[in-house]
Amino acid sequence: MLRGWHLCLLSVLAFYCFYINLQGTTTIHFWSRMALASRIYKGPSHLHDWRRTNPINISISDCDNVKKNILKKSLKLVDANDVKKFVNELRQCPWQYNEFEHNKLKLVLGSCCNARHMLLVTQDNAPLGYKLKYETNPSKIITMTKKIHHMLPKISPFLRKPFKTCAVVGNGGILQNSFCGKEIDSMDFVFSLNLPPLNLAEDIGTKSHFVSANPSILIKKFGRLLERRKPFIDNIKLYDSAMIVLPAFSYVHNTDVSFRALYSVEDFSLENKVAFFHPEYLRNLSSHWKEMGIKANRLSSGLMLVSSALELCNKIQLYGFWPFPTDPDGNNIPHHYYDNIYPKPGFHSMPDEFYLYLKMHSKGALFLQTGKC
């Protein structure tokens, strides 16, 4: 006959086993879902097991060969069909974060560009009286007057510890029906590109902390902010208190409209802060990626923010980056998740940039989401 304390102990053990089993079947840690070696999962229940949604049907050695082929082939030697083939093969392979490879990129980018200190123009890196050179035409300068200096943050907001997890959300049509919204919203810090509409919460989430804004959007969509500014303000309100960042000093014609964006946000007493990309950071970043083989008239906003995230974040996931008119399964998709308008031909080099992300994914430096979440 069992004593009372025996029964108590057995009850505790039974409850513990039930709890562990429940945890193992209902909760999955975001970063562990793609790791090959992990067998125990913890985290939000809405996140899926990468191996379960994309069953492995090629061997580990085949996966290694796919990654080697991606890494050894230069951008000049691949076309769109090669890239799609690589993506479909990689989707069948497990992914694991490689801190060493990420740190190598972080070190190189920190040395050339230094996003932590130089991503934004601040009173610290552009003191009163400083002659700031425009990004695309260094012969043109703008002096940091008291009026301009007052617009700037005192120091960079990125000098503190890196963000643990970050999402960089592109605007590609591949986001449609991706159901990635919950994953994106689970991140500590979210980068968004070019004032995107937030009309597909299930696919793109509802959260953003850093929103880039191309002045051409302010010019075309909001009439240079010379007349009614409420449509612009209503658009900014969608991003809650996110920082709005513009390349005010990339081209001379960007400056005035960027300043008006800042004045508008302040005049309507929004929580948002408007900041400006540092032209030296963007110029150095462009030089760096050109040396790495990205030949384009100008880097896309996507590559600018992915580069920043590599320095500012511990772990990075990319969503909505896909430069082709059909998805990996051959289905037609629009260029953006909200329209089918393509950029000016020859201005950016989207396929080359995407292949760069694919290489980073293959090394484990970041994760490139190319399907449903």
d(CA 151, CA 308): 22
What average pLDDT score do residues 163-179 get? 96
Give the CA distances from residue 186 to residues 32, 192, 207, 239, 249, in Å, rounded to whole numbers and listed in that order. Answer: 14, 15, 9, 16, 33
Domain final residue, candidates 39, 58, 73:
73
For residue 318, pLDDT beyond 80: yes
Residue pair 37/96 in contact by the 8 Å Cβ criterion: yes
Q: Are residues 250 and 329 in the same domain?
A: yes
Task: Grade residue 46 by pLDDT with cuts at 50, 70 and 90.
Answer: very low
For residue 17, pLDDT beyond 70: no
pLDDT, one tens digit per residue, over 199-235 is 899 999 999 999 999 999 999 999 999 999 999 999 9
Q: Are residues 31 and 170 in the same domain?
A: no
Residue pair 248/279 in contact by the 8 Å Cβ criterion: no
List CB contacts of 216: < 8 A, sequence separation 6 or more: none
**Considering the domain boundaries, does residue 90 fall inside one?**
no
Please state which of the ranges 75-79, 147-151, 173-177 shows the lowest mean pLDDT: 75-79
> Which CATH number covers residue 228?
3.90.1480.20
List CB contacts of 165: < 8 A, sequence separation 6 or more: 30, 31, 186, 187, 188, 189, 313, 314, 315, 316, 317
d(CA 17, CA 40): 14
**Considering the domain boundaries, does residue 85 fall inside one?**
no
For residue 42, pLDDT beyond 90: no
Residues found in the chain: 373
d(CA 348, CA 335): 14
CA dihedral of residues 305, 32, 107, 195 (deg, nearest 10): 10
How high is the pLDDT of residue 348? 61
How high is the pLDDT of residue 16? 39
Q: Are residues 61 and 202 in the same domain?
A: no
Q: Are residues 25 and 172 in the same domain?
A: no
Q: Are residues 31 and 103 in the same domain?
A: no
Q: Are residues 43 and 107 in the same domain?
A: no
* Residue in 92, 83, 67, 76 with CA at minimum distance from that of residue 323: 83
Residue pair 335/186 in contact by the 8 Å Cβ criterion: no
Q: What is the pTM of this model?
A: 0.83
For residue 55, pLDDT beyond 50: no
For residue 5, pLDDT beyond 90: no
Q: Are residues 209 and 260 in the same domain?
A: yes
Has 335 been annotated as catalytic?
no
Task: Grade residue 32 by pLDDT with cuts at 50, 70 and 90.
Answer: very low
Q: Are residues 155 and 226 in the same domain?
A: yes
Structural domains of the chain, count = 2
**Considering the domain boundaries, does residue 51 fall inside one?**
yes
Q: Are residues 57 and 108 in the same domain?
A: no
Residue pair 310/359 in contact by the 8 Å Cβ criterion: no
**Considering the domain boundaries, does residue 81 fall inside one?**
no
Task: Grade residue 2 by pLDDT with cuts at 50, 70 and 90.
Answer: very low
pLDDT, one tens digit per residue, over 99-122 is 999 999 999 999 999 999 999 999
Domain final residue, candidates 34, 58, 73:
73
State the pairing for strand pair 243-246/210-212: parallel
Q: Are residues 128 and 233 in the same domain?
A: yes
Please state which of the ranges 55-69, 155-169, 278-292 shows the lowest mean pLDDT: 55-69
What average pLDDT score do residues 352-370 get? 96
Q: Are residues 40 and 120 in the same domain?
A: no
**Considering the domain boundaries, does residue 226 fall inside one?**
yes
Domain final residue, candidates 73, 90, 111:
73
**Angle at which helices 80-90 and 60-72 pack, to 10 degrees?**
150
Please state which of the ranges 70-84, 104-118, 174-188, 293-307 shows the lowest mean pLDDT: 70-84
**Considering the domain boundaries, does residue 343 fall inside one?**
yes
Task: Grade residue 161 by pLDDT with cuts at 50, 70 and 90.
Answer: very high
Both tokens assigned to 132:
């700031």
Task: Grade residue 341 by pLDDT with cuts at 50, 70 and 90.
Answer: confident
For residue 48, pLDDT beyond 70: no
Q: Are residues 34 and 127 in the same domain?
A: no
Residue pair 231/116 in contact by the 8 Å Cβ criterion: no
d(CA 233, CA 250): 23
What average pLDDT score do residues 166-193 get? 97
User: One of 149, 335, 336, 348 is an active-site residue; which one?
Assistant: 348
Please state which of the ranges 127-131, 160-164, 297-301, 308-312 shows the lowest mean pLDDT: 297-301
Residue pair 300/351 in contact by the 8 Å Cβ criterion: no
Select the more confidently predicted residue: 345 or 108. 108
How high is the pLDDT of residue 78? 81
Whole domain around residue 183: which residue ranges? Answer: 99-368
Residue pair 354/83 in contact by the 8 Å Cβ criterion: yes
How high is the pLDDT of residue 346? 62
Both tokens assigned to 43:
């985290």
**Considering the domain boundaries, does residue 22 fall inside one?**
yes
Share of the chain above pLDDT 70, in %: 84
d(CA 36, CA 124): 44
pLDDT, one tens digit per residue, over 260-280 is 999 999 999 999 999 999 999
**Considering the domain boundaries, does residue 94 fall inside one?**
no
